[in-house]
Amino acid sequence: MISVCNAQILRALGRNILCVRVNLERFILVFIFLFVIWAPTIAAETQGRTGVNCDINHSSCTRYLSSCKVTLDIEPKPVKAMKDLTFTVRLTGEKPSSAPYIDLGMPGMNMGPNRVRLKVTGEGLYQGIGVIVKCPSGRRTWRATVTVPDLGTTEFIFDVIY
Amino acid sequence: MSSTSPLWLILLVTGFTVGFGHCIGMCGPIVVSLSLNLKGERVFLSQLLYNGGRVTTYTILGGLMGLTGSFTIVASNIASLQKIVIIFAGIIIIILAFSMIGWIPLGRIFSDDYNPKGIVARGFKRLSGHRSPFAYYPLGLLLGLLPCGPVYTALIASAAAGTQSTHPVQGVLNGAALMLLFGIGTVPALLIVGKLAGLGWLKSRKIIYQIGAVLMVLVGIYFIIKGLRY
């Protein structure tokens, strides 16, 4: 009789231990799940200003392609998000086959396609209107990738004002 | 219409890809909260209705962008409303958390025993019913206004489509269609997250609901702080 009771107690204990273990596993599962959900947001908010190569709020910025100097300017200054902005690209050196264009994005985050189409306004001078959107994560670092047809692309990474 | 056709495909694909990244980060906590609160009942239909509401809002905003042809005009007009929506989302998540563990007796208040008089009160009861999936459509409509970078970018494309249209009606249709496709693209990711978070696949969920409630409160507070700082 005693051995039967002991066996029942042991079985019950075993079930409880198993139950606790299963619940713990589920807790870990849910925690990981929620963490995965939040990981992009957390990563976005903790990412610093790494890679900034342009002080666009104070002056224009220049980068070099193999046979061409590319100068980017954005007006009005300081450069604010959610406002209509005038993007100006000045090319010095070899001339492209067609007008350059600018793709706006955020380093390390897919913000969708946001292309600023430029029109020629003078000798080697191109302008277009675009908008840098506000990221709710609070990140302010943006990237403007200038593509000069046939000559290549160059990136300007800068901070904007929210 | 044909001039925007490639853009339609681009926005559909963009919606799909940002859905699995950006949208899960922003809307994921809300979707998880909604699913947890449903406790495994009618999760798919509720999530479908929530996403339907969200996509409807995107479509309306797209139509407005197409009509005005200006992203900044519409965006500046809804900016203050968006701040309120972020805070509201945080409050909703906290209420759902407390309701889930029984601290706020939403289920009791809106149970069958409670029979309010008047159309508004009856309608509110129907929408707020603990097990009513129909409450999730208006919730989606409202939370579709949550600020989101990729949504803004898609709206810029809608505004651009509006400027290229020859007639205002065509602008509205183009803008709305682009945002509709973008919104549809974002749905699969959030449906999957919502379905998984519904925990219908688990047998014993009590502890998880309690832990989930704590996490939801933290998420709610995070949203409120973010809304105040936005």
The angle that helices B206-229 and B71-100 make with each other, rounded to 10 degrees, is 150
Q: Residue A115 pLDDT > 60, yes or no?
A: yes
Categorize the per-residue pLDDT at B1 as very low, low, confident or very high, splitting at 50, 70 and 90. Answer: very low
**pLDDT, tens digit (0-9, with 9 covering 90-100), for B187-227:** 998 888 887 776 555 555 566 677 778 878 888 898 898 88
The pTM of this model reads 0.77
B156 in contact with A, Cβ within 8 Å: yes
Do the interacting molecules here have an ipTM over 0.85?
no
Using 50, 70 and 90 to split pLDDT, how confident is the model at B147? confident
Long-range contacts of B72-79 (CB under 8 A, 24+ apart): B72/A82, B72/A83, B72/A84, B72/A131, B74/B155, B74/B159, B75/A82, B75/B152, B75/B155, B76/A82, B78/B145, B79/A82
Query: What does the pLDDT average to over B163-169?
Result: 87
- Note which residues in 110-129 of chain A have CB less than 8 A from chain B: 110-114
CB spacing of A38 vs B204 below 8 angstroms: no
Rounded to a whole number, what is the distance in Å from the CA of A1 to chain B's nearest CA? 33
Q: Which of B165, B139, B161 is nearest to B31 (CA)?
A: B139
Angle formed by the axes of helices B71-100 and B149-164, to 10°? 150
Does A35 contact chain B (CB < 8 Å)?
A: no
Give dist(CA B15, CA B51) in Å, integer.
13
> Hey, is the C-beta of B87 within 8 angstroms of any chain A C-beta?
no
Of B147, B156, B207, the CB nearest to A136: B147
Residues of B in contact with A47 (CB under 8 A): none
pLDDT tens figures, A70-101:
999 999 999 999 999 999 999 999 889 899 99
Could you read off the pLDDT of A28-67 as tens digits, one per residue?
Answer: 656 555 555 555 555 555 554 568 999 999 999 999 998 8
pLDDT in the model for residue A71: 96
Residue B62 has pLDDT above 80, yes or no: yes
B chain contacts of residue A83, beta-carbon cutoff 8 Å = 72
pLDDT of residue A86: 97
Q: How far is CA B109 from CA B99, B130, B137, in A?
A: 11, 9, 21
Say whether pLDDT at B109 is over 60. Answer: no
